[in-house]
Amino acid sequence: MTGSQVQFSFSQRSEDYLKTVVPSLEAVARRALVLTRVDFTIISGRRNMAEQRRLVRQGVSRTLYSRHLSGHALDLVPLDPVTGKGRFSRDLAVEVAAAFYEAGYQLNTAIRWGGMWADFEDIPHMEIPDMSARTL
Ligand SMILES: [Zn+2]
């Protein structure tokens, strides 16, 4: 570690979405922003069933049992270090996901990244999993 790491801060929009999720996920996201090498913006938090139904109809989401409904999930977009603009790049998202997993480790909170899902790759998605529904 060289000490030259850039400090990022959340936009107001990100802060507004963070207020909608459970405190343990908010804490992980804040810690991840300190740890990450790639900046990111939060673009979704808790959703109600009407919003979830609309996203499933649009094909953006596959399930009505989303962790977004209980505030245990958020979506984010990495910001391109060159342009500063949001970009749904897997390479950038991997950096952010690593920060979330490390933050979750530090805060003793299990985290799952949708980018690792085999059936429906969901790059923007981070959640605290429902451990009672755990399957491999
Ligand atoms: Zn999501």
The pLDDT value given to residue 5: 62
Given pLDDT bands bounded at 50, 70 and 90, which one contains residue 63?
confident
Q: How confident is the model over 69-120, as pLDDT tens digits?
A: 999 999 999 999 999 999 999 999 999 999 999 999 999 999 999 999 988 8
How far are the Cα atoms of 49, 70, 109 from residue 3, in angstroms, in the given order? 44, 38, 27
CA of 33 from ligand 1 middle (Å) equals 18
Integer CA distances (angstroms), 127 to 76, 109, 112, 124, 134, in order:
11, 10, 5, 10, 13
Domain of 97, in residue numbers:
12-130
Q: Considering the domain boundaries, does residue 23 fall inside one?
A: yes
Q: How many structural domains comprise the chain?
A: 1
For residue 20, give the CATH number of its domain.
Answer: 3.30.1380.10
What's residue 4's pLDDT? 53
In 3D space, the residue among 16, 35, 46 whose CA is nearest the CA of residue 97 turns out to be 35
- The rounded Å distance from CA 84 to ligand 1 centre is 22
| 8 Å CB contact between 44 and 74 | yes
**d(CA 112, ligand 1 centre) in Å:** 11
pTM: 0.91
**Measured in angstroms, how far is the CA atom of residue 106 from the centroid of ligand 1?**
22
Residues whose beta carbons lie less than 5 angstroms from ion ligand 1:
73, 75, 125
Q: Is the pLDDT of residue 2 over 80?
A: no
Instruction: Indicate the Cα dihedral angle 18, 48, 100, 133, nearest 10°.
Output: 150
At 132, is the pLDDT very low, low, confident or very high (cuts 50, 70, 90)?
confident
